[in-house]
Each structure stands twice: as C-alpha cells, then as structure tokens.
C-alpha cells in the first residue's frame, strides 16, 4: 500500500499517488522512475499510449537522450548516424487532466547525464544558413560538429575552435530544449516544432526552480521531455546548443478549469509568457498579450494599465530563431506587480 501525500503550493492543490504504471516505470511513494532509451523514445508530440501514469503532486525521476539520440560521440562521427532529431521521453499521463485545465511542471533537479556535449552546423538549418524558409543561390554551409568536454568541478564546458588554437570555458545552465504536451485536435507534431503546446521551445527558462504551465489539450495532457541543453546563446543562431542527455526530477500539478492558450513560466521573482510563431513580431505580440492577460487575471490590473507597465519594465529574450517557429520569452518581475489575488 502506497502512502498518500497532500501538498498545497500557492494556488496549486495536489494529491500524490501513482497507480497503473506500465512496464518500464518503477514506483515508490509519490515518485515514478522511468528510463528512456533509443528504443522507446518518440519523435512527435501526439496522442499515443503513455509510458507511465502520474497523479497531481507526484514526482517524476527520468532521463532524456540528447538531440541526436546520443549517437554522436567522437570526432569523425557524422549526422548519418542519427536516427531522428530531438528524441522525446514520454508521454506521461497525468490523472485527472482534461481539456480546459492547465498542467504545471516544476523542475526540481537537472543534471548533465554524460561527460560531454556536442554542437554543430548542418545543411539547410540555422539562422545564417540557407534554409527552405530563406533560400539562397550559394551553397549551404557544410556539416560540422564540435564536441564540448564537461568539467563538473568547475561546472563548465569547453569550446575548442577547429580553425585556430582558441578555446574558452562556458558556464553550464542545463535546461530542456523540448518540453510540452500533446497538441489539440488529434494532431501529431514533429519534435522539431514549437507551438501552442510547448515542444521544441529552446527556452533556457525551462530549468531548475521554475514552474512551466501548459494548456491541457487531451485527456491526461501527455507530457513529453527531451533535447537537453547544457548551455545556449540567445537565438540558438547556428541551430544547436551544447546538446546533452539529462537526468531530471519534476513535480506535476493541475490547475483545474483554468486554461491559457500558450506556455507560461513562473519562479519566485518573475512571471513569463512564451510567444511562438513566425514572423518574430507576431511571436512577441503573442507573448505580450498572454502576459497582459496573466496580469489581469491574477494581479487585478486592467489591460491598459498592464500594457503601459510592460512598456516600462518588461524584459524580452529571443530564445530561438532557427526552428519552424520562432520562440520569445517576455517577463515582468513580481516586484513591479501588486499583490496576487487570493485564490489564484
């Protein structure tokens, strides 16, 4: 008999217990342990049978493969070894989640699950490369792969130039490049795509200490994880971060009867909205509109007051500009907001 726990965090009420966990997932009191392998990953966000079932309040301990399925390990390896882009661990079914709800995912721990990462350039992809969206007459840039040794003692990865003797250490900031839920309407979307359901957002805000909110589109929500990054520059301009496998612990909760159209992020100091679209100005409009709505519903500001305040104190991160949709994060620090309304 498992123990049951109850936990209330702000406006998130959660009941913990796991049941009906299929083969491949182990369970203890309030914790599910699941291990992803190249044989059980997915390459789409879709409504498919879950690999495990969680209840609100439960903790998930799992891993993800890197964006190449851990196939690139040494100099001389090529993209021909990669079975598919951004393999996803999951999906995980959240008991009680129904369309119209919001799934909250608090990231408790993230660790690089290996001794190195990689990054690279590939034909037809990247912000400064010829792509199907921006065709050019000249040949695309050639394929090239860099490897990044991980130094756990200094919490850094090392970039080594291939065309000179230069090298430099880069601080680690592990985060999920891919995190999201099944899309609405029975759609199956590529693991390369970010959209309303989350997906390949490549936002560094998907990291430890932050809670991510996703609109529930299908029964059980169906949470997917993948595409671990050890570090990434804003824009992910060449198309990759320092790509790594991850080991993670997450806690899931439900907000019943509340639904936002796009992913959101929160921590102790700020609220953030994610806008995902092309062109980038529409992605920005989506994020700002979502943040105005959040400031109205939870903090009691009018739309015009929120709009004016954001014009003075908002921060914008260009998360990535290389995927089929661009992703931006707009934030406001809580110190600029009135007290949160009770009950929200």
Of residues 257 and 19, which shows the higher confidence score?
Answer: 257
pLDDT value for 139: 87
Query: How confident is the model at residue 280, as a pLDDT?
Result: 95
pLDDT tens digits for 101-127? 999 999 999 999 999 999 999 988 899
| pLDDT tier for residue 236 given thresholds of 50, 70 and 90 | very high
CA angle, 146 then 191 then 323, to 5°: 65
Residue 194 has pLDDT above 90, yes or no: yes
pLDDT in tens, 125-158: 899 998 887 888 988 899 999 999 999 999 999 9
The span from the CA of 306 to the CA of 64, in Å, is 38
Domain borders along the chain are 5-115+173-260, 119-169, 265-336
Q: What is the dihedral of CA 18, 22, 27, 31, to 10 degrees?
A: -50
Tens of pLDDT along 55-92? 999 999 999 999 999 999 999 999 999 999 999 999 99
* Alpha-helical regions (H) of the chain: 280-299, 303-313
Question: What does the CA dihedral 98, 99, 102, 103 come to, rounded to 10 degrees?
Answer: 50
Antiparallel, parallel or unpaired: β 211-215 and 264-266: antiparallel
Tokens coding 285: 């409009």
User: What whole-number distance in Å separates Cα of residue 325 and Cα of residue 131?
Assistant: 13
* Class at the top of the CATH hierarchy for domain 265-336: alpha beta
CATH, domain range 5-115+173-260? 2.60.120.580
Over residues 291-317, mean pLDDT: 98
Looking at the predicted structure, is the pLDDT value of residue 260 above 90? no
Helix (H), strand (E) at residue 64? strand 59-64
pLDDT at 131: 83
pLDDT in tens, 6-48: 332 332 333 233 233 344 566 666 999 999 999 999 999 999 9
Whether pLDDT at 5 is above 50:
no
Sign of CA dihedral 292, 293, 297, 298: negative
Tell me what the pLDDT averaged over the chain comes to: 91
pTM: 0.91
Instruction: Report d(CA 16, CA 7) in Å as an integer.
Output: 8
Question: What pLDDT, on the 0 to 100 scale, is given for residue 24?
Answer: 57
pLDDT at position 134 is 83
Predicted local confidence at residue 16, as pLDDT:
32
- The whole-angstrom distance between residue 20's C-alpha and the CA centroid of its chain comes to 26
Q: What per-residue confidence (pLDDT) applies to 28?
A: 63
């Amino acid at each position: 008999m498992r123990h049951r726990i109850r936990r209330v965090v702000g406006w998130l009420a959660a009941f913990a217990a796991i049941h009906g966990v299929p083969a491949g997932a182990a369970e203890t009191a309030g914790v599910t342990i699941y291990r992803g392998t190249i044989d059980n990953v997915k390459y789409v966000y879709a409504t498919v049978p879950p690999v495990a079932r969680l209840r609100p309040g439960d903790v998930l301990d799992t891993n993800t493969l890197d964006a190449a399925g851990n196939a690139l390990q040494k100099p001389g390896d090529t993209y021909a070894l990669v079975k598919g882009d951004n393999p996803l661990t999951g999906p995980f079914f959240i008991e009680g989640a129904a369309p119209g709800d919001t799934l909250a995912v608090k990231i408790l721990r993230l660790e690089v699950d290996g001794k190195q990462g990689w990054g690279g350039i590939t034909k037809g992809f990247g912000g400064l490369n010829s792509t199907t969206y921006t065709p050019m007459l000249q040949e695309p840039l050639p394929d090239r792969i860099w490897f990044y040794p991980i130094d756990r003692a200094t919490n850094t990865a090392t970039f080594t130039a291939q065309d000179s003797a230069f090298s430099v250490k880069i601080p680690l900031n592990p985060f999920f490049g891919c995190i999201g839920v099944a899309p609405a309407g029975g759609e199956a979307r590529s693991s390369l795509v970010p959209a309303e359901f989350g997906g390949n957002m490549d936002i560094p805000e998907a990291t430890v200490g932050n809670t991510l909110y996703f609109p529930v589109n299908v029964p059980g929500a169906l949470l997917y994880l993948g595409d671990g990054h050890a570090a990434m520059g804003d824009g992910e301009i060449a198309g990759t971060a320092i790509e790594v496998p991850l080991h993670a612990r997450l806690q899931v909760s439900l907000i019943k009867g509340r639904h936002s159209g796009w992913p959101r992020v929160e921590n102790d100091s700020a609220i953030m909205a994610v806008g995902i679209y092309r062109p980038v100005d529409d992605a920005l409009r989506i994020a700002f509109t979502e943040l105005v709505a959040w400031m109205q519903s939870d903090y009691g500001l009018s739309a015009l007051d929120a709009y004016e305040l954001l014009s003075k104190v908002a921060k914008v991160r260009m998360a990535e500009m290389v995927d089929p949709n661009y992703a931006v994060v707009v934030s406001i620090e809580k110190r600029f907001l009135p007290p949160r309304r009770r009950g929200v």
